[in-house]
Structure 1
Amino acid sequence: MTAAQAQFQLDHPGVADGAAIWRIARDSKVLDLNSSYSYLLWCRDFAGTSVVARDETGEVAGFVTGYFRPERPRTLVVWQVAVDHGHRGHGLAGALLDGLTAKVRDSGRQVTTVETTITPDNTASQALFLSYARRHGAGVERQVLFDAGLFPDDGHLPEELYRIGPLA
């Protein structure tokens, strides 16, 4: 853990964190922004499979949201990862992913695989998840999950599935 990472406390989100998570997602300019309501629901219904990083004042500096695939109960799907602009470049996103894996395992859930989707132009997310795979001694399989033509909005790039596992 770097000194920058050590200044943050990793915690499961509460409903009161939904607005901050929505703002960080909006300000990322990279993530597909969901409704503010969906982030409130996420913090209520999927808090156990999500993590926030709190700075020294308790404010949310970054987040990772996830859920278990119903038909693959040992597969943790990472929905979104984002770090507030002022806290980028210090390894916090990687610490959030590692923290999520640890917190989920500490709760008694088995995680053998992590899945996420990344657009081909998002090199930062590609590097983040490939680094995560290396740290966890896991392989990475990639394939197109959702072709661009499936999206109703114009200009959406395909979403490539990254399947990381088995985790060490």
Structure 2
Amino acid sequence: MPKDMADFETLRPRTLTMRQPDSTDGAAIWDLVRQCKPLDENSMYCNLVQAEHFSDTCVVAEMDGEIVGWISGHMIPKKNALFVWQVAVSPKARGLGLGRRMLEHLTSRDSCAGATCLNTTITKDNDASWALFRSFAREVGGELSDAAHYTRDVHFDGKHATEHMVTITLSQSAAAQPASAA
């Protein structure tokens, strides 16, 4: 390929879409999560089940047909809270604000309309996740709070850092925005 064409390919606008996952996305999601350290690698089967059973509260982002973003989440039973388990963004899509855009897309879905807050857990040393959720809280005008929740010694038998439960309040106007494709 001529050098000019190679340069054109790297500058070409990319098509970004967000959608609900399905079971056929499980393997690609699993591959993506494995690229995104320090995320815990679940089994491929876990990602397949999440994509099929929880598709209403999960998001995949595709760029030119390739999965480059993933959020797994669920509504917490008997609470008006959306729990976000994992956010993964491919190195190919970093710097685009994709994590925050996927969170905005997810919280605007009808399936999340009853959520008055978003919960997630983050270890104290995961700077990227803290930055993402602080940015999201600012964007939606929500209050962010955190407290130690799953502790190293009580819950992880000393083998994993304490996970802090992060809570972001969601205004009804933020949650009511229509989900867009990008």
Task: Normalising by structure 1, report the TM-score.
Answer: 0.89
Partner residue in 2 for 1:29: 37
Unaligned 5+ segments in structure 1 are none
Query: Match of 2:77, as an amino acid?
Result: P
1:40-69: per-residue Cα shift (whole Å, max 9, x none)?
11011000000110112x221111111000
Contact 2:146 2:167 in 1 (8 A): yes
Query: What SS does the corresponding residue of 2:39 show, helix, strand or coil?
Result: coil
| Residue identity in the other structure for 1:47 | S
In the other structure, the counterpart of 1:88 is 94
Q: Is the 8 A contact 2:57 2:112 kept in 1?
A: no
Shift of residue 152, structure 1, vs aligned partner: 3.9
Matched, 1:140 2:148: no
1:10 aligns with: 18
User: Are 1:125 and 2:133 matched, yes or no?
Assistant: no
Displacement after TM superposition at 1:6 (Å):
7.7
Q: Does 1:71 align with 2:78?
A: yes
Matched residue, 1:114: 118
Q: Distance in 2 between matches of 1:50 and 1:25?
A: 14
Corresponding residue SS for 1:161 = strand
Question: Any stretches of 5+ residues in structure 2 without a counterpart?
Answer: 1-12, 175-182
- In structure 2, the residue matched to 1:151 is 156
Secondary structure at 1:31's aligned position in 2? coil
Aligned residues: 160
The CA distance in 2 between the partners of 1:166 and 1:51, in whole Å, is 18
Question: What is the percent sequence identity of the aligned residues?
Answer: 38
Pick the aligned partner of 2:69 from 51, 62, 65.
62
- Report the CA distance between 1:145 and its aligned residue: 0.7
1:79-129 Cα deviation digits (max 9, x unpaired): 100111111111111111111111x23x47322100000000001100100
Q: Which has the larger radius of gyration?
A: 2
Q: Distance in 1 between matches of 2:151 and 2:100?
A: 27
Q: Using the alignment, how far apart are the partners of 1:159 and 1:88 within structure 2?
A: 24
Residue 100 (structure 1) aligned with residue 106 (structure 2): yes
Distance 1:6 1:50 in 2: 22
Equivalent of residue 57 in structure 2, options 49, 55, 59: 49
Contact 2:75 2:112 in 1 (8 A): no
**In 2, Cα distance between equivalents of 1:100 and 1:166:** 12
TM score, norm. by length of structure 2? 0.82
**In structure 1, distance between residues paired with 2:115 and 2:77:** 13
